[in-house]
Amino acid sequence: MVSIARCGCASSCSCLITAGPGAAVSGNGSSQNPYVVSATGMLDCEAVQDCVGAGFVDGLQYDDDANQFRARISPAPGNNLSQGPNGLFVPTGAATVSVADSACIDLSGNGSGGSPITAAPILNAAAGNLITCTPTGLRAALALATCGLAGDGSAASPLAAKVGAWSYPCAVDTFAGNVYCDSNGTLRSEPRGRADFQQVTETTNFADVAVPAALDTLILTRNVLVTNPDTCREMFLLMEQELDVDFILPAGAGAAYGQDTDEVVYHRNTGSSTETDFHVQTTKVFRLANVAAGGSVNYAFNVTMGRGSAGATYNRVQTFVRAFKFIL
């Protein structure tokens, strides 16, 4: 409470006193009833604590019953922070962390002073792995062979295939072959070109069979199975067939033979005595359609005869079939 003296008053006082925020005024300023200025709305300690404590979040807490502010200690496993006698406290060497390895990094230690966290690379033990851990870091040291590769693997000298110069007038992009990698990691070229040969010779003897008069009469068929020995590429096939027939031709007799429907020999005996075992060997060469990789074709050689007259007969038929195989 504050008493205000009269200010230059005689019988009465002309002072004016008003109350500001948080204050109240009573009395009229006379000696019998002086002005009294009093504080209003004052907060006590409890109210201040409640107001401040309501604003705390993680890390601080307010104990209203004990009227105390405290640090909030997390109950999570592994937390070593505690409230010591003189404040917050972490025991020496007790601040640890848990670690987990990945596929490439091995972590050890718990982060304490006695067991710091360390990391080591996990190196694959499979044959051919070039990565090693050196005092200056990880390194893949390349050991180059003397053939097939150029460069040392550095940025200035990258690895490259060691090749010769293309010395042909045609375009390498159009005419060069390819190289391939086999199951053992060895470079391989395209399949090598190859050639093959197949021959079948057959002779059949007869007991003087009459030569038919009709043209291109089928006498016999030679069948030859021709197989492509290459399982990668088709085969270019040339066929050669030879035919030799022995005729017995009395005087004035005539006879002809053919390869398939192509009559290749006709002979007539214009003499006065019998011609025995007259024969002429003929040859034809032609190309068959290409044979697929590993495929086969059944080749048929038809022997025909005709124009037999005046008792002409035959007693022997000899055939040759040759297959020339080209795989490129």
* Predicted pLDDT of residue 268: 98
Q: Is the pLDDT of residue 3 over 60?
A: no
Mean of pLDDT over the chain = 85
* Predicted pLDDT of residue 163: 86
Q: Is the pLDDT of residue 205 over 70?
A: yes
- Give mean pLDDT, residues 195-203: 97
H or E element in which residue 53 lies: helix 45-53
Nearest to 107 by CA among 93, 121, 127: 121
Q: Is the pLDDT of residue 153 over 70?
A: yes
- Give mean pLDDT, residues 201-229: 97
Q: Is the pLDDT of residue 13 over 80?
A: no
**Tokens 């795989």 belong to residue:** 327
d(CA 241, CA 302): 10
- Give mean pLDDT, residues 44-50: 75
- Give mean pLDDT, residues 188-209: 95
The neighbour count for residue 23, using CB atoms within 10 Å, is 14
Q: Is the pLDDT of residue 62 over 80?
A: no
User: Which tops the pLDDT comparison, 267 or 13?
Assistant: 267
* Predicted pLDDT of residue 113: 65
* Predicted pLDDT of residue 5: 47
- Is the distance from CB of 255 to CB of 267 less than 8 angstroms? yes
* Predicted pLDDT of residue 198: 97
Q: Is the pLDDT of residue 236 over 90?
A: yes
* Candidate CATH numbers 1.10.260, 2.70.70, 2.60.120, 2.30.320; the one for domain 194-327: 2.60.120
d(CA 285, CA 162): 46
Give the global pTM.
Answer: 0.55
Give the alpha-carbon dihedral of 303, 309, 311, 316, to 10 degrees: -20
The neighbour count for residue 187, using CB atoms within 10 Å, is 10
* Predicted pLDDT of residue 2: 44
What lies within 8 Å, CB to CB, of 53 at 6+ separation is 62, 64, 69
User: Percentage of the chain with pLDDT > 90?
Assistant: 48
Per-residue pLDDT tens digits for 157-175 = 888 888 889 999 999 999 9
**Tokens 């391989």 belong to residue:** 188
